[in-house]
Amino acid sequence: MPNEWKAMEHNSYNSLKDDQSFISMEALAGLLLMGASVLAMVAANSPLNEYYQGILQLPFSVQLGEYGIAKPLLLWINDGLMAVFFFMVGLELKRELLEGQLSKPANILLPALGAIGGMLVPAAIYAAINWQNPIALKGWAIPAATDIAFALGILALLGPRVPLSLKIFLSSLAIIDDIGAILIIAFFYTAKISATALIIAAVCLVILYAVNKSGVESKSIYLSIGLVMWVALLKSGVHATLAGVLLAYCWPSLFP
Protein backbone atom coordinates (compact mmCIF):
# COMPACT_ATOMS: atom_id res chain seq x y z
CA MET A 1 0.00 0.00 0.00
CA PRO A 2 2.76 2.56 0.78
CA ASN A 3 4.16 1.98 -2.72
CA GLU A 4 0.76 2.76 -4.21
CA TRP A 5 0.57 5.96 -2.18
CA LYS A 6 4.01 6.97 -3.40
CA ALA A 7 2.98 6.28 -6.99
CA MET A 8 -0.19 8.36 -6.59
CA GLU A 9 1.77 11.18 -4.97
CA HIS A 10 4.34 11.06 -7.79
CA ASN A 11 1.62 11.21 -10.47
CA SER A 12 -0.12 14.11 -8.73
CA TYR A 13 3.18 15.98 -8.49
CA ASN A 14 3.89 15.47 -12.20
CA SER A 15 0.36 16.58 -13.09
CA LEU A 16 0.77 19.73 -10.99
CA LYS A 17 4.09 20.48 -12.68
CA ASP A 18 2.46 20.09 -16.12
CA ASP A 19 -0.39 22.44 -15.15
CA GLN A 20 2.06 25.01 -13.82
CA SER A 21 4.13 24.79 -17.01
CA PHE A 22 1.03 25.30 -19.14
CA ILE A 23 -0.07 28.30 -17.07
CA SER A 24 3.43 29.77 -17.37
CA MET A 25 3.33 29.37 -21.16
CA GLU A 26 -0.10 31.06 -21.31
CA ALA A 27 1.14 33.97 -19.21
CA LEU A 28 4.28 34.31 -21.35
CA ALA A 29 2.16 34.46 -24.53
CA GLY A 30 0.03 37.21 -22.98
CA LEU A 31 3.12 39.17 -21.92
CA LEU A 32 4.62 38.90 -25.41
CA LEU A 33 1.39 40.12 -27.01
CA MET A 34 1.03 43.08 -24.65
CA GLY A 35 4.72 43.96 -24.97
CA ALA A 36 4.61 43.84 -28.76
CA SER A 37 1.47 46.01 -28.76
CA VAL A 38 3.12 48.66 -26.58
CA LEU A 39 6.23 48.71 -28.77
CA ALA A 40 4.10 49.00 -31.92
CA MET A 41 2.13 51.97 -30.49
CA VAL A 42 5.34 53.70 -29.40
CA ALA A 43 6.91 53.17 -32.83
CA ALA A 44 3.78 54.31 -34.70
CA ASN A 45 3.55 57.55 -32.66
CA SER A 46 7.21 58.54 -32.64
CA PRO A 47 9.90 59.47 -35.17
CA LEU A 48 10.33 55.72 -35.64
CA ASN A 49 6.99 55.62 -37.50
CA GLU A 50 8.68 55.98 -40.90
CA TYR A 51 10.81 52.89 -40.27
CA TYR A 52 7.87 51.05 -38.70
CA GLN A 53 5.69 51.60 -41.76
CA GLY A 54 8.60 50.69 -44.00
CA ILE A 55 8.95 47.32 -42.27
CA LEU A 56 5.21 46.63 -42.57
CA GLN A 57 5.29 47.43 -46.30
CA LEU A 58 8.44 45.42 -46.90
CA PRO A 59 7.76 43.21 -49.95
CA PHE A 60 8.06 39.47 -49.38
CA SER A 61 7.43 36.81 -52.02
CA VAL A 62 7.41 33.03 -52.34
CA GLN A 63 7.93 31.73 -55.87
CA LEU A 64 7.59 28.24 -57.35
CA GLY A 65 8.19 28.29 -61.09
CA GLU A 66 5.80 30.76 -62.70
CA TYR A 67 3.47 30.70 -59.70
CA GLY A 68 4.06 32.72 -56.58
CA ILE A 69 2.69 34.95 -53.83
CA ALA A 70 4.05 38.49 -53.48
CA LYS A 71 2.67 40.58 -50.63
CA PRO A 72 3.93 43.18 -48.14
CA LEU A 73 4.89 41.90 -44.70
CA LEU A 74 1.69 43.36 -43.19
CA LEU A 75 -0.52 41.09 -45.32
CA TRP A 76 1.64 38.05 -44.52
CA ILE A 77 0.90 38.78 -40.86
CA ASN A 78 -2.83 39.35 -41.43
CA ASP A 79 -3.38 36.42 -43.78
CA GLY A 80 -0.65 34.02 -42.65
CA LEU A 81 0.03 34.33 -38.95
CA MET A 82 -3.63 35.00 -38.19
CA ALA A 83 -4.52 31.75 -39.96
CA VAL A 84 -2.15 29.96 -37.58
CA PHE A 85 -3.73 31.80 -34.64
CA PHE A 86 -7.23 30.71 -35.63
CA PHE A 87 -6.00 27.18 -36.24
CA MET A 88 -4.91 27.01 -32.59
CA VAL A 89 -8.15 28.61 -31.41
CA GLY A 90 -10.07 26.19 -33.63
CA LEU A 91 -8.35 23.19 -32.04
CA GLU A 92 -9.34 24.37 -28.58
CA LEU A 93 -12.89 24.96 -29.73
CA LYS A 94 -13.03 21.51 -31.35
CA ARG A 95 -11.98 19.91 -28.08
CA GLU A 96 -14.76 21.74 -26.26
CA LEU A 97 -17.30 20.78 -28.93
CA LEU A 98 -16.40 17.10 -28.73
CA GLU A 99 -16.05 16.58 -25.00
CA GLY A 100 -16.21 19.92 -23.22
CA GLN A 101 -18.74 22.53 -22.23
CA LEU A 102 -19.82 23.17 -25.84
CA SER A 103 -20.71 19.53 -26.49
CA LYS A 104 -24.33 20.51 -25.78
CA PRO A 105 -25.84 22.59 -28.64
CA ALA A 106 -27.61 24.86 -26.14
CA ASN A 107 -24.23 26.06 -24.83
CA ILE A 108 -23.23 27.35 -28.28
CA LEU A 109 -26.19 29.73 -28.39
CA LEU A 110 -24.73 32.39 -26.06
CA PRO A 111 -21.37 32.89 -27.85
CA ALA A 112 -23.17 32.80 -31.22
CA LEU A 113 -25.59 35.54 -30.12
CA GLY A 114 -22.68 37.48 -28.60
CA ALA A 115 -20.71 37.37 -31.84
CA ILE A 116 -23.70 38.31 -34.03
CA GLY A 117 -24.74 41.12 -31.68
CA GLY A 118 -21.13 42.33 -31.47
CA MET A 119 -21.13 42.77 -35.24
CA LEU A 120 -24.67 44.03 -35.88
CA VAL A 121 -25.01 46.63 -33.10
CA PRO A 122 -21.77 48.62 -33.79
CA ALA A 123 -22.46 48.46 -37.54
CA ALA A 124 -26.00 49.74 -37.02
CA ILE A 125 -24.80 52.61 -34.81
CA TYR A 126 -22.17 53.58 -37.40
CA ALA A 127 -24.73 53.44 -40.22
CA ALA A 128 -27.20 55.58 -38.24
CA ILE A 129 -24.57 58.27 -37.61
CA ASN A 130 -23.33 58.34 -41.21
CA TRP A 131 -26.64 57.72 -42.97
CA GLN A 132 -26.52 61.08 -44.79
CA ASN A 133 -22.94 60.60 -45.97
CA PRO A 134 -22.78 57.99 -48.78
CA ILE A 135 -18.98 57.86 -48.79
CA ALA A 136 -18.61 57.40 -45.03
CA LEU A 137 -21.49 54.92 -45.02
CA LYS A 138 -19.35 52.49 -47.04
CA GLY A 139 -17.28 51.90 -43.89
CA TRP A 140 -20.19 50.40 -41.94
CA ALA A 141 -18.37 47.09 -41.48
CA ILE A 142 -15.30 48.60 -39.80
CA PRO A 143 -16.80 48.75 -36.26
CA ALA A 144 -18.23 45.25 -36.77
CA ALA A 145 -14.73 43.76 -36.51
CA THR A 146 -13.77 42.52 -33.04
CA ASP A 147 -10.12 42.10 -32.10
CA ILE A 148 -10.52 38.94 -30.05
CA ALA A 149 -6.77 38.24 -30.15
CA PHE A 150 -6.15 40.94 -27.52
CA ALA A 151 -8.97 39.72 -25.31
CA LEU A 152 -7.57 36.19 -25.40
CA GLY A 153 -4.09 37.57 -24.74
CA ILE A 154 -5.28 39.39 -21.61
CA LEU A 155 -7.01 36.25 -20.40
CA ALA A 156 -3.81 34.28 -20.96
CA LEU A 157 -1.92 36.92 -19.00
CA LEU A 158 -4.29 36.51 -16.05
CA GLY A 159 -3.85 32.73 -16.19
CA PRO A 160 -5.81 30.61 -13.67
CA ARG A 161 -7.57 33.64 -12.17
CA VAL A 162 -9.92 33.65 -15.18
CA PRO A 163 -12.72 31.05 -15.21
CA LEU A 164 -12.37 28.38 -17.89
CA SER A 165 -15.93 29.06 -19.04
CA LEU A 166 -14.98 32.65 -19.94
CA LYS A 167 -12.02 31.46 -22.02
CA ILE A 168 -14.25 28.99 -23.85
CA PHE A 169 -16.87 31.68 -24.43
CA LEU A 170 -14.34 34.08 -25.94
CA SER A 171 -12.71 31.35 -28.06
CA SER A 172 -16.11 30.38 -29.45
CA LEU A 173 -17.01 34.01 -30.04
CA ALA A 174 -13.68 34.53 -31.84
CA ILE A 175 -14.36 31.75 -34.33
CA ILE A 176 -17.95 32.85 -35.04
CA ASP A 177 -16.92 36.50 -35.26
CA ASP A 178 -14.13 35.69 -37.71
CA ILE A 179 -16.46 33.66 -39.92
CA GLY A 180 -18.91 36.57 -39.87
CA ALA A 181 -16.15 39.01 -40.87
CA ILE A 182 -15.09 36.68 -43.71
CA LEU A 183 -18.67 36.55 -45.02
CA ILE A 184 -18.98 40.36 -44.85
CA ILE A 185 -15.73 40.78 -46.81
CA ALA A 186 -16.77 38.15 -49.35
CA PHE A 187 -20.28 39.54 -50.01
CA PHE A 188 -19.79 43.30 -49.59
CA TYR A 189 -16.11 44.20 -50.02
CA THR A 190 -14.70 41.81 -52.60
CA ALA A 191 -14.61 43.15 -56.13
CA LYS A 192 -13.95 39.76 -57.71
CA ILE A 193 -14.28 36.20 -56.40
CA SER A 194 -12.22 33.49 -58.06
CA ALA A 195 -14.51 30.50 -58.53
CA THR A 196 -11.55 28.30 -59.55
CA ALA A 197 -9.64 29.06 -56.34
CA LEU A 198 -12.77 28.44 -54.24
CA ILE A 199 -13.30 25.07 -55.94
CA ILE A 200 -9.68 24.10 -55.19
CA ALA A 201 -10.17 25.10 -51.55
CA ALA A 202 -13.40 23.07 -51.38
CA VAL A 203 -11.65 20.02 -52.88
CA CYS A 204 -8.87 20.36 -50.28
CA LEU A 205 -11.49 20.44 -47.51
CA VAL A 206 -13.16 17.29 -48.87
CA ILE A 207 -9.79 15.54 -49.04
CA LEU A 208 -8.95 16.57 -45.48
CA TYR A 209 -12.29 15.26 -44.25
CA ALA A 210 -11.82 11.97 -46.13
CA VAL A 211 -8.26 11.56 -44.79
CA ASN A 212 -9.53 12.18 -41.27
CA LYS A 213 -12.31 9.60 -41.64
CA SER A 214 -9.76 7.10 -42.99
CA GLY A 215 -7.89 7.29 -39.69
CA VAL A 216 -4.70 8.86 -41.07
CA GLU A 217 -2.74 10.52 -38.25
CA SER A 218 0.28 11.88 -40.13
CA LYS A 219 0.30 15.60 -39.31
CA SER A 220 2.48 16.40 -42.34
CA ILE A 221 -0.29 15.24 -44.69
CA TYR A 222 -2.84 17.52 -43.05
CA LEU A 223 -0.43 20.46 -43.03
CA SER A 224 0.45 19.97 -46.71
CA ILE A 225 -3.18 19.87 -47.82
CA GLY A 226 -4.00 22.74 -45.44
CA LEU A 227 -1.26 24.87 -47.01
CA VAL A 228 -2.72 24.31 -50.48
CA MET A 229 -6.17 25.24 -49.11
CA TRP A 230 -4.72 28.40 -47.54
CA VAL A 231 -3.15 29.49 -50.84
CA ALA A 232 -6.40 28.77 -52.69
CA LEU A 233 -8.43 30.85 -50.24
CA LEU A 234 -5.82 33.62 -50.43
CA LYS A 235 -6.21 33.71 -54.22
CA SER A 236 -10.00 33.37 -54.10
CA GLY A 237 -10.70 36.78 -52.60
CA VAL A 238 -12.04 35.27 -49.37
CA HIS A 239 -10.07 35.94 -46.18
CA ALA A 240 -7.41 33.22 -45.82
CA THR A 241 -7.76 32.92 -42.03
CA LEU A 242 -10.75 30.67 -42.73
CA ALA A 243 -8.23 27.98 -43.73
CA GLY A 244 -7.00 27.80 -40.13
CA VAL A 245 -10.51 27.13 -38.82
CA LEU A 246 -11.24 24.50 -41.49
CA LEU A 247 -7.92 22.72 -40.91
CA ALA A 248 -8.58 22.59 -37.17
CA TYR A 249 -11.97 21.01 -37.85
CA CYS A 250 -10.32 18.20 -39.86
CA TRP A 251 -7.32 17.71 -37.56
CA PRO A 252 -6.90 14.04 -36.58
CA SER A 253 -6.78 14.55 -32.82
CA LEU A 254 -7.94 16.98 -30.19
CA PHE A 255 -4.49 18.37 -29.69
CA PRO A 256 -1.81 19.44 -32.22
H-helix or E-strand spanning residue 151: helix 148-158
pLDDT at 255: 43
Q: What is the pLDDT of residues 101-151, one digit of tens each?
A: 667 777 778 888 888 888 899 899 999 999 988 888 888 888 887 666 677
CA angle 234/36/118 to nearest 5° reads 60
Identify the CA nearest to 173 among candidates 118, 210, 238: 118
Please give the DSSP secondary-structure letter assigned to residue 238.
Answer: S
Q: Looking at the predicted structure, is the pLDDT value of residue 53 above 90?
A: no
Q: What is the distance in angstroms between the CA of the first residue and the CA of the last residue of the chain?
A: 38
pLDDT band for position 207 (cuts 50, 70, 90): very high
pLDDT at 12: 40
For CA atoms 169, 173, 175, 176, the dihedral sign is positive
Do 205 and 43 meet the contact criterion of CB atoms below 8 Å apart? no
Give the C-alpha separation, 124 to 10, whole Å.
Answer: 57
For CA atoms 142, 144, 148, 154, the dihedral sign is positive
As a whole number, the mean pLDDT across the chain is 78
* Contacts of residue 205, Cβ cutoff 8 Å, sequence gap at least 6: 229, 246, 250
Do 251 and 222 meet the contact criterion of CB atoms below 8 Å apart? yes
